[in-house]
Amino acid sequence: MIRTWKITKTKFDELHFDNESSLDAITRQLPDGYYSTFRTYDSCTRVIGLSAHLRRLPNVDASSLRRNLLHLLEPYRPGETRVRIMLTFAGKLYIAIEPLKLLQPEVYEKGVSVETTEIRRKSPRVKSTAFISASDEERTHLAQEKIFEALLVKHGKILEGMTSNFFYVRGKTLYTAQRDILLGVTRTMVIRAARGSGLEVRYSPLEGHQLSAVKEAFITSSSRGIVPVIQIDEMKIGQGRPGNITKMLMTAYDEYVLRKAEKI
């Protein structure tokens, strides 16, 4: 069950909507604005990259928001949650919380299939709620076809996922786009974990004609961590199963999270 509150300086009021089936459904029923989504750790007391998530919300009092968030998370302990904070362009603040539903282990063990799409963000550096509505048709298609994610393509270059960042491996080097993408919080943490493990990281989007040379690929997001990609459109990636570098990074990222998650 998802619960949503409107936050003011003096109180928070719980709201109810006609459609409360998902965080996206609730977001569509609020005015356009900014948002950030993340999961909790340590019985709802820590978040990876929380400061970076809150910086996505212009002019928000981070200290006050942290206090409100801790209070709203208290009933969910000792479990974990997925949280979305939304700030409308008019300055209204909302927090939506749902119990965390982890992906099935086989998703990480076997990897997922994704497809490419030409839809784009109007302002790639801004995490705007308007993109959720703009990508509704693609999201419905993914659900119907049981495709895990869509990768955004611009001028023949794969930039990022619709709800994630995208990485690929050529040789022994890890690549990810740097321009025209949303700079995800988890993306930053994965890059740090990769470099901490001695892996070279370069910034370059994947050209469509290079796809056959890709040995491994994966996507990243705050709620899902690192998810191996074994097929893009009709092209199988590597051996069609998660590669060694991806598996090494999954372990390194998990260890990094345990050390670096911020106290709320």
Strands 157-161 and 149-154: antiparallel
Encode pLDDT of 215-237 as tens digits. 999 999 999 999 999 999 999 99
Q: Please identify every stretch of the chain with a pLDDT value under 50, giving residue numbers as ranges.
A: none
Torsion of CA 176, 182, 184, 188, to 10 degrees: 50
- Tell me the CATH class for 105-260: alpha beta
Encode pLDDT of 139-188 as tens digits. 999 999 999 999 999 999 999 999 999 999 999 999 999 999 999 999 99
Quick check: 262 and 48 in contact, CB under 8 A? yes
Instruction: Say yes or no: domain 3-99 is CATH 3.30.470.10.
Output: yes
Tokens read off for 183: 């700079």
pLDDT at residue 16, rounded to an integer: 97
Quick check: 168 and 175 in contact, CB under 8 A? yes
Where along the chain do its domains lie? 3-99, 105-260
Q: Is the pTM of this model over 0.85?
A: yes
CA atoms within 13 A on the CB side of 37: 22
pLDDT at residue 94, rounded to an integer: 98
CA distance linking residue 246 with residue 229, whole number of Å: 9
